[in-house]
Every structure is written in C-alpha cells, then in structure tokens.
Amino acid sequence: MTTTIALAGKGGVGKTTISGMVIKYLVQTQPGAVLAIDADPSSNLNMVLGLDLDWTVGDIREDLLAQVKQSLTAGGAAMGTLPGGTTKREHLDYHVRTSISEGDHFDLIAMGRSEGAGCYCAVNHNLREVVDAISKSYRYVVVDNEAGMEHLSRRTTRDVQHLLVVTDATQRGLVAAERIAEFRRQLDIQIENTWLIVNRLPGEMPPPMKARIDALDFPLLGTIPADVELAEFEFSGRPLVELGDESPVYQAIAGMMAHLNIP
C-alpha cells in the first residue's frame, strides 16, 4: 500500500521546504522508497532535494501535443497513435519515466507548467493514469502542490491519507488555509485526514490566532519556528535535505510526522 501525503497553502508559506523535510524524515526513518511529485509550476522542489531537473511533465505534454498536430493530416493521431505506431499512452509512459530524477531512496517527478491554449483533456487523462501507475511502485508519495488544489484531482486519482495545509503566522495565510481546507470536500479524490501546520512562528502563538485555529474543523498538527539559520543554509547553495537533524525546523517536522504514526 502506498501512503500519500499532500501539502497545500498559499504561495510563499514554505510548502516546498516542508515537503523536503517530510521526504528527509521518511527516507531516514521509514522503509521503502519515496516519490516526490512537484505539482507547483515553478518547479523548485528539485533544488531543496539536490536533484537536477531536465524535463517536466508539462514539457512532455506540450511535446506530445505538437506531435499530434503534425500527424493529424495522416490520420494517426485521430486513431490514438503517433508516427511509428506508438500510442499516446505508451509515449507518455516512456517519457515520464525517463524524466524521473533519481535521489538516494527518493525520486522526483516535476509536473511543470500549466496547460496552454488547446484541448488537454485526453492528454491529461493519460498523464494521470501514467503518474498513478508509477506511484504504485513507491511506499510513500509526497505531493508539493501549488497555491490551490484545483489541479490535484485532475492530476491524480490516488487517495490522500494526509493533507497538510500550511500557513505562516499571518491572517492572510490562515484565511487561505481555511479556504483550501473547505475546498477539499469538492475534490474527486478521498482525503482521509486534514491537518494544519503553522510555519515560521516567531515565538509564542498570539491568542487571537490560537482562538481562530481552535475554531477550525481540522486540527493543528504543529508549529515550526522561524529560523534564520535555515535561510543562511539555503543561500549557501546546499540542498535543504542536508540540513542537520538537530535543526529546530527539522525537529519540529519530524515530531509532527511521528505523531501521524505513518506505517
């Protein structure tokens, strides 16, 4: 069985950093390989993980659509095949698999840019099936989402065991977290557990913020302290997964993951 953890929250609250620390925790403490899916069009999870990124799924999709347009006049694309007799599904499966960036007990698929002009329904359906098929061979899947979650049900049919909604210590971040959590009920996928994480908390939580969090219909999983050392580490050019286990940021995230009791 594959355990899927998805992260969501408004832009800039630190989802990608937390995703990297969750992956670090899983690699260090749990058996089985981890698949990281970077579903943010900015595609920078690879920098946190210390991996090169040559291709994204968005690049593969656009390349396929270009080939489809070229072969329409020959009738091949209309029949579900490309020149040479390759089906669109086979084409996507091969290229998505070859685009995977390999790490130490974890791999990365970057979804890349959003759709442009044109019809993407059939291609996105095939892509969803390909990514889901690849995910089944991993023990854990960690999905770093863009600001919203509208795309999540379009890109995967996988159930999500833990949705981690991230906010920073601002009213705007918390409002966005509330809206994202409300939207989870409209998705075509099953989300078993939803949790709130407050990132970059400078000291004690202000009472008004605590009161608002207590009123939510999903629980606070934990808080992560603001840490100047984390920014210094990042700007040194080193991937954040190399952050020491003694880091307050990693310790906070490791404690939260232990609380989830992930099998």
Whole-number Å distance between alpha carbons of 167 and 228: 18
- For residue 42, pLDDT beyond 80: no
Residue with tokens 């600001």: 147
pLDDT (tens digit, 9 = 90+) per residue, 47-100?
Answer: 999 999 888 888 888 888 777 677 665 554 444 556 666 787 888 899 899 999
What Å distances lie between residue 10 and 73, 167, 206, CA to CA? 44, 7, 21
Note the pLDDT of residue 79. 45
pLDDT at 231: 82
Q: Which of 130-134, 164-168, 230-234: highest mean pLDDT?
A: 164-168
89: three-class secondary structure by DSSP = helix
What CATH number does residue 20 fall under? Answer: 3.40.50.300
Q: Which domain holds residue 96?
A: 3-260
pLDDT, the chain, mean: 86
Whether pLDDT at 229 is above 90:
no
For residue 232, what pLDDT band results from cuts at 50, 70 and 90? confident
pLDDT at position 194 is 96
pLDDT above 80 (res 259): yes
Residue 31 CB contacts under 8 Å (≥ 6 apart), including other chains:
139
pLDDT of residue 112: 82
- Low-confidence winner among 14-23, 98-107, 123-132, 146-155 (lowest mean pLDDT): 146-155
Percent of the chain with pLDDT over 90: 55
pLDDT at residue 209 is higher than 90: yes
Are 31 and 237 spatial neighbours (Cβ–Cβ below 8 Å)? no
pLDDT for the residue numbered 163: 94
113: part of which helix (H) or strand (E)?
none
**Would you tell me the crossing angle of helices 171-183 and 207-214 to the nearest 10 degrees?**
10
Distance of CA 88 to the CA centre of its chain: 25
Number of domains making up the chain? 1
At residue 108, does pLDDT exceed 50?
Answer: yes
Q: Per-residue pLDDT tens for 161-196? A: 999 999 999 999 999 999 988 888 887 778 999 999
CA torsion angle 60 135 52 256 (round to 10): 140
Report the range of poorest mean pLDDT among 96-105, 109-118, 200-209: 109-118
| Residue 240 exposed, middle or buried by CB count within 10 Å (0-12, 13-18, 19+) | buried
Q: Is the pLDDT of residue 14 over 50?
A: yes
Rounded-to-integer distance, Cα 114 and Cα 263, Å: 33
Residue 121 pLDDT level (bands cut at 50, 70, 90):
low
Comparing 6-10, 18-22, 30-34, 86-90, which segment has the lowest mean pLDDT? 86-90
Look at residue 114 and tell me whether its pLDDT is greater than 90.
no
